[in-house]
Amino acid sequence: MMIHKLIVLGILASTSLAAAQAPPPEQPGSASIAAAEQLFNEARTLFDKGDHAAACPRFEASYKLDAALGTLLNIATCYEKLGRLASAWGRYREVIALATKVGDASRLKIARERADAIEPTLPKLTIRARSSIAGMVVTRDDVPVDPAVLGIGIYVDAGGHTITATAVGRKPFSTKVEVKGSEIKVVILPELAIDPDYKGPAPVATTIRLEQDHFDPGRTRRIVGLSVSGVGIATLVAGFGFGAVARATYDTAFEDDLCDRTTLACTPKGQERTDRARSQSLVANIATIGGAAMIAGGVFIYLTAPSPGRIAITPGVEGGANVSFGGSW
């Protein structure tokens, strides 16, 4: 038990310390307070003259600049005098909550008595929908109505109210209702008719260039072209090498006096060397011609390969999508 008390005392102490260290709530600037006071005084003058329609907006403007509890109570009273009882009741409820929080017993008593007095006289408006349509937006006096509120009687000010319902691809519905004091009014929204003139949003083509690994029909062809050209270059180099060796072999037959340069007569050993040189020269010629041909062929294969493809995805007018493939050769 003693440990429990110590824990509780520790929590309370921590909470008090945190509250003491917390920064004070942001207060309105002196200019805002001055403007709020001026608006409040103008509103009180108009209110005392009985011009409630002009006084209420000024009270609201003053409250936005300086959220004073007294101003909020005056707003509620002004709406009550104006006959907007639902708005007055809502403001009285705000006064009750704030007065309770700050411990203002006098204003709490006034707001509670007035809210209790007018609540039985408040009219209610219930909006119901015959069917649920995806994306349907319902408004009351141009203010969106939460779907969760549909079917529930909500306090409204007496007078005229405009109810609208809209949905994509449907014809809009709008109606005006007159709600009198303490009346319970029900508005049933019909099923919104399909709009035959609705064509939907214009299709937007989206071109996606895919990575070569995913959609590149010419990739293999270009690889083959490069490979063939590479082999051709190697063969061409080998051909030049064989040609150099053949020339060296032929020259040594004369340099070693195995053949005569004037008569071209050769000893048996010299004849063997010149024959070997001719064989080497033939290989060199074949390799050179073959290498050049492979280089030309590889370049042709590479240059004629198809370019990376494109996919165009276009949303369909009636749903789905149109897909087209493209490329160049």
Report the pLDDT value the prediction gives residue 98, as an integer from 0 to 100: 96
Q: Is residue 130 within 8 Å of 188, Cβ to Cβ?
A: yes
- β-bridge mates for residue 188, sequence order: 128
Report the pLDDT value the prediction gives residue 25, as an integer from 0 to 100: 45
Report the pLDDT value the prediction gives residue 111, as an integer from 0 to 100: 96
**In the chain, which stretches have pLDDT less than 50?**
1-25, 210-213, 317-319
Q: Outline where 133-267 has alpha helix (H).
A: 219-255
Query: Which residue is associated with the tokens 């529930």?
Result: 152
Nearest-5° Cα angle at 187, 183 to 192 = 175
| Mean pLDDT for all residues in the chain | 81
Q: What are phi and psi of 320, to 5 degrees?
A: 75, -160
Question: Which residue type is seen at 313?
Answer: I
Query: Which residue is associated with the tokens 């011609």?
Result: 289
Predicted TM-score of the model (pTM): 0.53
Report the pLDDT value the prediction gives residue 254, as an integer from 0 to 100: 78
Q: Cα–Cα distance between 130 and 132 in angstroms, integer?
A: 7
**pLDDT tens for each residue of 90-121:** 999 999 999 999 999 999 999 999 999 999 99
Report the pLDDT value the prediction gives residue 208, as an integer from 0 to 100: 52
Report the pLDDT value the prediction gives residue 13, as an integer from 0 to 100: 36
